Amino acid sequence: MAEPLSQVVASMPRARFVGLMGLFLGPAVAVYTAFSIYPLIATMGLATYTNDSAGGYHFVGLTNFVTLLTDSLWSKPFWNAAKNNLIFFCVHMLVQNPIGIALAGLLSLPGLKLKSLYRTIIFLPTMLSVVIVGFSWNLILSPLWGVAEGALKAVGLGSLFAPWLGLPSTALVTLALISVWQFVGIPLMLIYAALLNIPDELVDAARVDGLGHLVLPTIGLVSILTFVGNFNAFDLIYSVKGALAGPNFASDILGTFFYRTFFGNQLQLGNPTMGAAVATVMFFIILAGVCLYLFIVQRRLRRYAF
């Protein structure tokens, strides 16, 4: 009988164990450090400097963060972008994830035919380029040559059509719904996989006690992935509305605000140090959400499951 792996590792000389760890994990750690850890630390360090007209950098500590959060020149667009980002996230939580859960439940029905075809069709937009998706929906919803108005008129709902992407009151929600259409396949596949992994005896018991506690950990994972993805969002807004995230910054989120701050746009000059401050604040917002999930939500879900 083969010796258990844990005993083999325990009896292995320490030098050999360290050498094997370095051999197998070393390249991955080096690549992760070079392309993730170092840029993150460098960005945080850059956020503590300011640059002058001559191109020199001067250490200012937390001044950039104070300016970003309190100076009206910076705080107004920042808080507007943060509010829009929160709305963008809420639309995904209230629309994308419930639809994904419902579709996963439908696809898990025993008598349903052509399940693979349905899964492929629903998941297909997820694999498309965001630029293609943004450009296509921009054409579809265009009041000049788009097909949306004609489609609504064909079913007697033509009066509901409006230039949704061009109105400050609807542009952000419209973009969020386009994102929902593209990425609804992700919660669908995660929930569907969780349902398939539930043993039959637990399914029989769940018919009496409810199935919620069996998929709640996966729903929690989907929620935190949605949070991280939405507060990192940039490409869809940029491809449809550009760096200015119009109209009148109505669809501006933290990603587009960071882009304009760091690289500049039109008459606005790029400010790398303030851009680094924006990126650092974005990182800590995401970190706070992940920590909330790991230390509060995930623990309660495990207790509930047990």
pLDDT at 221: 87
Q: Which residues have a Cβ under 8 Å from the Cβ of 106 and sit 6 or more positions away?
A: 112
pLDDT by residue (tens digit) across 93-103?
999 999 999 99
Distance CA 33, CA 194 (A): 32
Q: Which residues have a Cβ under 8 Å from the Cβ of 51 and sit 6 or more positions away?
A: 57, 58, 271, 272, 273
Token pair of 207 as six digits: 């018919």
pLDDT by residue (tens digit) across 109-164?
888 888 889 999 999 999 999 999 999 999 999 998 889 999 999 999 888 999 99
Asked if CATH classification 3.40.50.1970 holds for the domain at 73-304, the reply, yes or no, is no
Which residue in this structure is represented by tokens 């949704």? 164
- The β-bridge partners of 268 are 265
Sort strands 57-59 and 264-265 into parallel, antiparallel or unpaired.
unpaired
Please, what is the average pLDDT of the chain?
Answer: 87
pLDDT by residue (tens digit) across 44-58?
999 999 988 777 889
Q: Where are the domains of the chain?
A: 73-304
- Residue 180 amino acid letter: V
Confidence band of 1 (pLDDT split at 50, 70, 90): very low
Distance CA 161, CA 150 (A): 9
Token pair of 284 as six digits: 């800590």
